[in-house]
Amino acid sequence: MKILILAPYPIGEAPSQRFRFEQYLTILEKEEIEYNYVPFISLATWKILHKPSNFLKKTMGVLSAFLSRALLIFSLYKYDFIFIHREASHIGPPVFEWLISKVFKKKMIYDFDDAIWLPNYSAHNKAFNKLKYYKKVKDIIAWSYKVSAGNNYLAKYAQQYNSNVIINPTTIDTENYHNRIRNQQIDKTVIGWTGTLTTIKYLHEIIPVIKELEQDYDFTFRVISNENPQFDLKSFEFVPWQHATEIDDLLTFHVGVMPLKADQWSEGKCGFKALQYMALGIPALVSPVGVNKEIVGHGHNGFICDTKTDWLLYLEKLINDSTLRSMLGRAARNTIENKYSVKANTNNFLGLFDEKYLFEKAKGQMSDTKKAL
């Protein structure tokens, strides 16, 4: 079996790619499944894409990417499946997807993990947003052999246009990467958040809460990101995101927060921040939006916070009670291992390409049920 993987960004650079499919690449190799990974933009273009200015370099990088994609069309005959994450090209209509599906008649597997049919872009790339073609998502879904959706909300959207939709959650590699547990009994309490400049806006909901807690408690509010939000807080500390230190930096958190605004875009999110915290034994405090309500069991492995009062109450509890943090952290880790780990989801992912894996998964679940009875 040979698979062509088309992704927006270079390997190892974008969280959605790393935790949607890149961590399964070694498993494909073990299964003797050949693949060719071809990103749309180069590493050089990726490094400037979300930074201000550099318009000419960005434009040249995108034009070069289109040329590379066009040349790739002539090698499609080699592959059994074409796996596309989000889109084959950043801008414009779905020309490549149409050629793959309709002209070359290849089996196209479409994977997405956000409500990407809705406009969402960074302030630095407003000019390129005019060239985006958001309505192409439903066309790509309709042309696909299978659709891999990150959660139930996304799956329901996809099912309007394609009957062959599989829920393939964002997962964590608990064996090789997120493979350590936070010791909740040591160090000054750290309330943490991690994310990119496009999601920092959600933190504004809890800044007043942090400010109020600062009046009574000594803790650190640590933000790991690619851009410093420069919050006016005495507890605030910024840590630049780096792949090499990602796990070490996350392990400094005692509590992880994930506030979200209740809107369509947030409904499509796959709870990635919460999954990362929980995999490391860090209880997550989340807004009751979308898949967060499935991942976090209130009072079991974290807390769901709907109001300012909720955020104050549960952050205060966790600042004061390291034993509670430990208990919730252990349950959080178990949740990830059982439901959202690479190991738990491997057959589901491989089933996108070969139905035997889905059959083996179903057989295993039946066996577990019999044992439980």
Band of the pLDDT at 126, cuts 50, 70, 90?
low
Task: Check whether residue 101 and residue 214 sit in a common domain.
Answer: no
* Residues with Cβ within 8 Å of residue 234, at least 6 apart in sequence: 214
| pLDDT, greater one: 122 or 195 | 195
Q: Is residue 226 part of a domain?
A: yes
Q: Give the domain extent around 335.
A: 190-339
Report the DSSP pairing between strands 302-304 and 220-225: unpaired
Q: Is residue 266 part of a domain?
A: yes
pTM, two decimals, is 0.88
Q: How many structural domains are present in the chain?
A: 2
Q: Is residue 185 part of a domain?
A: no
Please state, for a pLDDT cut of 90, what percent of the chain lies above it: 79
Q: Is residue 373 part of a domain?
A: no
pLDDT of residue 369: 44
Task: Check whether residue 41 and residue 72 sit in a common domain.
Answer: yes
Q: What is the DSSP letter of 178?
A: S
* Residues with Cβ within 8 Å of residue 336, at least 6 apart in sequence: 172, 174, 178, 275, 278, 279
Task: Check whether residue 136 and residue 18 sit in a common domain.
Answer: yes
* Nearest Cα residue to 124 out of 198, 47, 50: 50
Band of the pLDDT at 29, cuts 50, 70, 90?
very high
Instruction: Convert the pLDDT of each residue in 42-56 to its tens digit.
Output: 999 888 877 778 888
Task: Check whether residue 137 and residue 211 sit in a common domain.
Answer: no
Task: Check whether residue 83 and residue 198 sit in a common domain.
Answer: no
Give the domain CATH number at 258: 3.40.50.2000
Instruction: Convert the pLDDT of each residue in 211-231 to its tens digit.
Output: 999 999 999 999 999 889 999
Q: Is residue 184 part of a domain?
A: no
Band of the pLDDT at 373, cuts 50, 70, 90?
very low
**CA–CA–CA angle 107, 140, 3 (5° rounding):** 30
Mean per-residue pLDDT, 260-266: 89
Mean per-residue pLDDT, 84-111: 95
Task: Check whether residue 261 and residue 310 sit in a common domain.
Answer: yes
Band of the pLDDT at 332, cuts 50, 70, 90?
very high
* Residue 58, pLDDT above cutoff 50: yes
Task: Check whether residue 205 and residue 139 sit in a common domain.
Answer: no
Give the span between the Cα atoms of 353 and 315, in whole angstroms.
44
Instruction: Convert the pLDDT of each residue in 305-317 to its tens digit.
Output: 999 999 999 999 9
Task: Check whether residue 323 and residue 349 sit in a common domain.
Answer: no
Average pLDDT, the chain: 91
Task: Check whether residue 75 and residue 58 sit in a common domain.
Answer: yes
Task: Check whether residue 210 and residue 140 sit in a common domain.
Answer: no
